[in-house]
Amino acid sequence: MRSLADSGISVDLPPGWDGQIRVAGQGSATTARAASADAEELTGEGRVLHAASFALPPERGDYGSGAVELMGGSDVLVCLLEHEREAASTALFAREGIPRVEPAMFSPQSMQRSIAGMAGTQHFFQVAGRAFCLYVVVGSWRTRVPLVRVADRVAASIRITA
Amino acid sequence: MAAVVVALALALALLGVLVVGLLRSHAEILKALHDLGVNLEDGADAAPPRRASARSRHAPARTAPGVPRPRSDGPLGDATDLTGTLPRGGAAHVAVAGVDHPTLLAFLSTGCGTCGTFWAELAEDPVRHLPDPSTRVVVITNGPDAESPAAVADLAPAGLVTLMSSEAWDDYGVPVSPYFILVDGPSGRVVGEGAGTSLEQVVDLLGKAMADVGTAAPATSARPLTRMGGQDRADRVDRELLAAGIEPGDPSLYPAPHASHAGDDRP
């Protein structure tokens, strides 16, 4: 495991995994293509964490557009997206603590943009007054059980401080 | 009369010196060409180029101005993953060992003249130069303690990951910039390294290095880094499953019963 940390967010990456923590909305700053493909490109000073079992392309949106298209059937993408702090007081982000993911949560319809064979899930929550969305994509809905197990281990290793 | 004889003798001597100089220059050119594997004799087959190791035993390597000399103490060894900061802010970890594709590490700086060529070339689809289209190119500068993030951000090629990491320079023992290291992903080994005046020259050098160690890239990658359509993706998933021995109906394809359904006796 290799630890990656920045801006009060850290994650342990399994061997062979890529990871990045960057300012939200940089997809639009560096690439119009990735940003336009993202349903909701974040703005503000929030951070975005991407952890992937494959090579993360530099051109990608906050929700992983530009990256999910590269995923193979055995790949996993974990996205942690920080929203404005004010959002933490809303009902959508009322849940406290980083959620765990399990196979039953995944659905092809939960993708930001449906891609045949793939499945995703997303959950909103808050930690230390910071509002987040955890968005996880697995490369194959049919073999999601072992893939979700890996994704859950990565999600469980995420640490957030104020 | 004597003056004419002396003048002719001097002219003859001067011509002799010129001829000797030309012959020597010609011999040096032929020798250099021979070292590169070129034989100009009629009917002669191309001579095999001398291995760098053999050449280094006989004469010191020479490089173009601005190009660093190869390391003499650089045995190819294990690669290490890269961790550093991003020029526009944030942190990144790039896996190069234990992955299914080769990675070309381009160690550049913002201040060196020779690097300017590479910054420009890397911005224009550098993968087209590479023998294996699945090769991932990662640009690495020194960390923010030695480089300006803003300057690196201005030069960073849009299509490549650019990482600022002095740690990576130390890990790979990079002598100076520009410097390139090719890592074989599956084995996690460094298979070639060196420098040049252009990306094409560097790629040619690294391609020969890969051939020398028997890790020449396949013509097609098992996992091309290109975007796939829905049917292509479904077909690839099916192929990967079959290759893993998982056929339609395999129990591993279906999730275990959810905890809330523990008493459910449905199949």
Give tens-digit pLDDT for A105-134.
Answer: 999 887 877 788 899 999 999 999 999 999
Question: Using only C-alpha atoms, what is the Rg of chain B?
Answer: 28
CB contact under 8 A, B233 and A115: yes
Mean pLDDT of chain B: 74
When mean pLDDT is compared over A81-85, B38-42, B54-58, the highest value belongs to A81-85
**Which has the higher per-residue pLDDT, B227 or A132?**
A132
Residue where the block lists tokens 């004889």: B5
CA pair distance B117, B97, nearest whole angstrom = 28
Would you say A24 and A62 are in contact if contact means Cβ atoms under 8 Å apart?
Answer: yes
- The whole-model pTM stands at 0.70
pLDDT score of B46 more than 60: no
**Pick from A2, A59, A115: which is nearest to B93 by CB?**
A2
Q: Which residues lie below 8 Å from residue B16, measured CB to CB, with a gap of 6+?
A: none
Give tens-digit pLDDT for B49-100.
Answer: 433 333 333 344 455 555 555 554 455 688 999 999 999 999 999 999 999 9
Q: Which residues of B touch A5 (CB under 8 A)?
A: 91
Give pLDDT, residue A126.
Answer: 97
Phi first, then psi: give them for residue B140, nearest 5 degrees: -130, 120
Give pLDDT, residue A25.
Answer: 82
User: Strands A130-138 and A76-83, how do they pair?
Assistant: antiparallel
CA pair distance A8, A85, nearest whole angstrom = 14
Q: Which residues of A touch B81 (CB under 8 A)?
A: 2
Would you say B235 and B229 are in contact if contact means Cβ atoms under 8 Å apart?
Answer: no
Which of B94, B140, B152, B233 is the best residue to mutate to test the A interface, defined by the most A CB atoms within 10 Å of its own CB? B233
pLDDT band with cut points at 50, 70 and 90 for residue B131? confident
Q: In sequence order, what are the beta bridge partners of A4? A: A11
Taking CA–CA distances from B260, the nearest residue in chain A reads A104
**Pick from B161, B226, B234: which is nearest to A117 by CB?**
B234
Would you say B96 and B102 are in contact if contact means Cβ atoms under 8 Å apart?
Answer: no
Q: Which amino acid is at B257?
A: P
Which of A39-43, A105-109, B212-216 is predicted with the least confidence, judged by mean pLDDT?
A39-43
CA pair distance B124, B93, nearest whole angstrom = 24
Q: Which amino acid is at B167?
A: E
User: Quick one: what percent of chain A has pLDDT higher than 70?
Assistant: 89
- What 3-state class would DSSP assign to B15? helix
Give pLDDT, residue B8.
Answer: 86
**Buried b / exposed e across A57-72, counting CB within 10 Å, b at 16+?**
bbbbbbbbbbbbbbbb
Average pLDDT over residues B196-213: 79
Half-sphere exposure in the Cβ direction for B184 (13 Å, CA): 20
**Which has the higher per-residue pLDDT, A32 or B124?**
B124
Give pLDDT, residue B199.
Answer: 86
Output the six-digit token pair for B132.
Answer: 């294996």
Query: How many residues are given for chain A?
Result: 162
Q: By the CB < 8 Å criterion, does B228 face chain A?
A: yes
**Pick from B98, B231, B240: which is nearest to A16 by CB?**
B98
Q: By the CB < 8 Å criterion, does B98 face chain A?
A: yes
* DSSP assignment letter at B95: -
Q: By the CB < 8 Å criterion, does B93 face chain A?
A: yes
**Which has the higher per-residue pLDDT, A59 or B71?**
A59
Average pLDDT over residues B244-252: 63
Q: Which residues of A touch B256 (CB under 8 A)?
A: 103, 145
- What 3-state class would DSSP assign to B103? strand
Give pLDDT, residue B260.
Answer: 38
Angle at Cα B141 formed by Cα B226 and Cα B99, nearest 5°? Answer: 40
**Pick from A21, A31, A116: which is nearest to B90 by CB?**
A21
**Which has the higher per-residue pLDDT, A80 or B242?**
A80
CB contact under 8 A, B252 and A145: yes
Would you say A66 and A49 are in contact if contact means Cβ atoms under 8 Å apart?
Answer: no
pLDDT score of B129 more than 80: no
**Which has the higher per-residue pLDDT, B209 or B202?**
B202
Mean pLDDT of chain A: 88
Within 10 angstroms of residue A35's Cβ, the number of other Cβ atoms is 20
